[in-house]
Chains A and B, each alone.
Chain A
Amino acid sequence: MKFLKYILIIIFLFNLNLSNANENNSHSKITKNLRCLICQGQSIHDSDSEFANSIKILVSKKLNDGLSEDQIYILLKEKYGEWILYDPGFNKNTYFLWLLPLLMFIIGGAIILKIFIIKKN
């Protein structure tokens, strides 16, 4: 019986540790995908500015409040615009950004195909 008690305690402690690790993972994932607006070229995760530190605290607080990763992105996007996200969504401002590589691939493919057909003929 005592043995079972010890096992249960160990399992409980292990789970606590695991949940904390998951929280840390999502915190670091989110802050890595946020741009520090006052220090160019750095993510919130990498920056140690006052702004970045406040955002890090806010992200922790929102995760504790039970908000999901996407909800946190939406919240920050409402306040600071799309620019704060390193991975912008697909909308009318980013159509070109997302479709350009595809367009170039199609055009390039068409050129190669055309040359190949011309040579063959």
Chain B
Amino acid sequence: MKNKIFFSVVIISFLIIFFVLFKGLQNTNIYTPQVDIKKDIPYFEAKLFDSDIVKNSNEIFQKEKFYLLNIWASWCAPCRDEHPILLELKDQVNLEIIGLNYKDNIINAKKFLKELNSPYRLTLSDENGIISIEWGAYGVPETFLIYNKRIIKRYVGPLNLNSIIEIKKFIE
């Protein structure tokens, strides 16, 4: 009788372990960033894209309105794809778009904005990528919707038509 109980416990334990490991096999091992993050924006200082003036995050995000921080680079093809969407959002009353130029060649970046038109009220420079890391970003393009110095939503990859609808819903 004792033996039976013992073996039953062993078999059940192994079955539980097997089930948990089997479930784990189905989980993705690719990093999936959290998009619904609600946390304070990091403090940072950045040079303006086309001058030596340094601005800090408190100055940039001081108004009580929505901000969209868009991390972009001229060498990034998806940034070109999402550009018309940013231009469409540019004229929203309650929204300001801030660009963070990521590890870019300034001449190419200027050409990019001249060719496609700039949706940004302010363009900052992130020469070595540290500011993007402080934001928890992991590539370009990436966009953060901000209100009251808090991140409300994060868009990893290029913005699309659904993102416009969602952003408009937030700011209305």
Give the secondary structure class of A's interface. Answer: helix
| Residue A18 at the chain B interface, CB threshold 8 Å | no
A57 & B20 in contact (Cβ 8 Å cutoff): no
A50 & B129 in contact (Cβ 8 Å cutoff): yes
Complex interface bits, A80-107 against B, C-beta within 8 A gives 1, otherwise 0: 1101000000000000100010011001
For the A-B complex, the count of residue pairs with Cβ-Cβ distances under 8 Å equals 55
- On chain A, the number of residues with a Cβ less than 8 Å from chain B's Cβ atoms is 25
B130 & A111 in contact (Cβ 8 Å cutoff): no
Complex interface bits, A49-64 against B, C-beta within 8 A gives 1, otherwise 0: 0110111011001000
B130 & A80 in contact (Cβ 8 Å cutoff): no
Complex interface bits, B120-155 against A, C-beta within 8 A gives 1, otherwise 0: 000000001110111110110000000000000000
A83 & B129 in contact (Cβ 8 Å cutoff): no
Q: Which residue of B lies closest to A35 (CB)?
A: B31
A51 & B139 in contact (Cβ 8 Å cutoff): yes
How far does the alpha carbon of A40 sit from the alpha carbon of B31 in the complex, in Å?
A: 9
B1-48 contacts to A, CB under 8 A, are 3, 6, 10, 13-14, 17, 20, 29-31, 33-34
B29 & A40 in contact (Cβ 8 Å cutoff): yes
Smallest Cβ distance from A40 to chain B, in angstroms? Answer: 7
Smallest Cβ distance from B81 to chain A, in angstroms? Answer: 19
